[in-house]
Amino acid sequence: MGSYGHHPVRKLFDAGVPITLNTDDPGVFDTDLTQEYTIASDMFGFDAEELAKVRANAERFRFRNGHV
């Protein structure tokens, strides 16, 4: 597994790419959504306002009855 320092999430967000945070497979990766948001804050410097945008993106781009 690579280091967090090589992950492009901060650059993508700063460039205006709408991102979301997800757990993918919590059983395999031993994580939960709270931990993913903590990593975004601690490792990538996301503040509360930015994390609110990330949460809004998750709502905006979620699947609803098979449709986006």
pLDDT in tens, 1-13: 468 889 999 999 9
**Does the pLDDT of residue 61 top 80, yes or no?**
yes
Query: Quick check: is 67 in a domain?
Result: no
Q: Record the pTM.
A: 0.81
With H, G, I as helix, E, B as strand and everything else as coil, classify residue 8. Answer: coil
**Does the pLDDT of residue 25 top 90, yes or no?**
no
pLDDT in tens, 26-53: 788 788 999 999 999 999 999 999 999 9
Query: Quick check: is 48 in a domain?
Result: yes
- The answer for residues whose C-beta is within 8 angstroms of residue 26's C-beta and 6 or more apart is 32
Query: Quick check: is 1 in a domain?
Result: no
Q: How many domains does the chain have?
A: 1
Using CA atoms of 13, 10, 3, 29 in order, give the dihedral in degrees to the nearest 10.
-40
Ramachandran area for residue 46 (φ above 0: left; ψ -120 to 50: alpha; else beta): beta
Query: Quick check: is 13 in a domain?
Result: yes
**Does the pLDDT of residue 56 top 70, yes or no?**
yes
| pLDDT at residue 46, rounded to an integer | 98
